[in-house]
Amino acid sequence: MRLTSLPRLSLAQLPTPLDDVPRLTQQLNGPRILFKRDDLTGMGLGGNKVRKLEFLLADALQQRADVIVTGAGPQSNHLRLTAAAARKCGLDVVLVMFGNRPRETQGNFLLDELLGAEIIFTNDADRSSVDRALQEVAEDLRRRGRCPYIIPRGGATPLGSVGYVECVQELETQRVAQRVQVDHLVCAVGSCGTLAGLWLGACCFNAPYQLWGISVSRPRGECLARVQQLATDAAQILDVKPPRASMLPILRNEYLGTGYGIVTPEAVDAIRLVARTEGIFLDPVYTGKAMAGLMDLIRRGEIGKDEMVVFLHTGGAPSLFAHASVLLP
């Protein structure tokens, strides 16, 4: 496997903790739950994108890029972390955002401004308007003699996913050291790069647990197709066998609610419960919905009380500040 020979920057504080959440478990009358604290990856207030960026920005530097171009919405954690990582590498950064400039400068958007990112709006609410604009912005930069490196939405490229192959290895080491038997791993799914990396990692390292992805954005079929493509291409980069269908993650999208970024009452309940039992902040867009999903799977008995669960906390807390009105009705 080529995992250790790929160009990589050290941006994240690793390993992230694997912590018991006994008061949450007790409150749910549920199975033993551990949080894998990827909200604590350190750089730029942390989150799952930092693991991907270690590989993506190393590639950008190798290609002699001088400006990073990426896109998403104003409350994107991916944008905040990409801008922070770019700054740490001495690079300029252009962020393309769908829609219009928000009325309020809060949460991730505030942090993007502090990082001095150049921010461009597509003035089109359609999220995929970003994808077209990324190419145009990069073309324009090239005409002006710059060397742009494009990172697609969510950092969801095969190379980015490699960060989560490595996370599985890290978790295996912790699992053995802490003598815990893990039956399930649950995470939020957006652009699908994280889950793709976890799946390939689970295959490479023979991880014995069932992977669950809770979609907060895309329909189930689209997620599965993306996960399959990303994981297969990541396997090529790493020179390992393609991921095994028998270990395919279970993908659920019934916790998405009305749409991406629209908070559900169940997610608000989950955010409050985790804050009040464990002093840990989930977020309204990703981890709140993923935890609402985990709570429902436990309630339905799809995850048994005698089993053990790892919840991958992928970060996102800065967007809490931009959602005050829906969090405290």
User: Listing from the earlier edge strand, what are the strands of the sheet with 118-121?
Assistant: 118-121, 92-97, 67-72, 148-151
In whole angstroms, the minimum distance from the beta carbon of 109 to ligand PLP comes to: 14
User: Catalytic residues, which ones?
Assistant: 76
Q: Does 172 bind ligand PLP (CB under 6 A)?
A: no
Among residue numbers 61 through 90, which ones bind ligand PLP (CB under 6 A)?
77-78
Residue 29 CB-density burial (10 A; 0-12 exposed, 13-18 middle, 19+ buried): exposed
**In the stretch 122-161, what mask flags binding to ligand PLP with x, by CB under 6 A?**
--------------------------------x-x-----
283 belongs to the binding site for ligand PLP (CB under 6 A): yes
**Residue carrying the six token digits 């490229």:** 157
Is residue 261 at the binding interface for ligand PLP, with CB under 6 A as the rule? no
* Residue 249 binds ligand PLP, judged by CB under 6 A: no
Residues 174 and 135: beta-carbon distance below 8 Å: no
Considering only residues 194-213, where is the footprint of ligand PLP by CB under 6 A? 194-195
Q: Which residues of 130-139 are buried (b: 16+ CB within 10 A; e: fewer)?
A: bbebbeebbe
Identified binder of ligand PLP from the candidate list 47, 74, 107, 201, rule CB under 6 A: 47
Q: What is the DSSP letter of 307?
A: S
Which residue stretch of 97-105, 191-199, 303-311, 321-329 sits at the interface with ligand PLP (rule: CB under 6 A)? 191-199
- Cβ atoms within 10 Å of 270's Cβ, excluding its own: 25
Tokens coding 254: 């019934």
The single residue among 148, 201, 293, 316 that binds ligand PLP, judged by CB under 6 A, is 316
- Min dist. Cβ of residue 297 to ligand PLP (A): 17
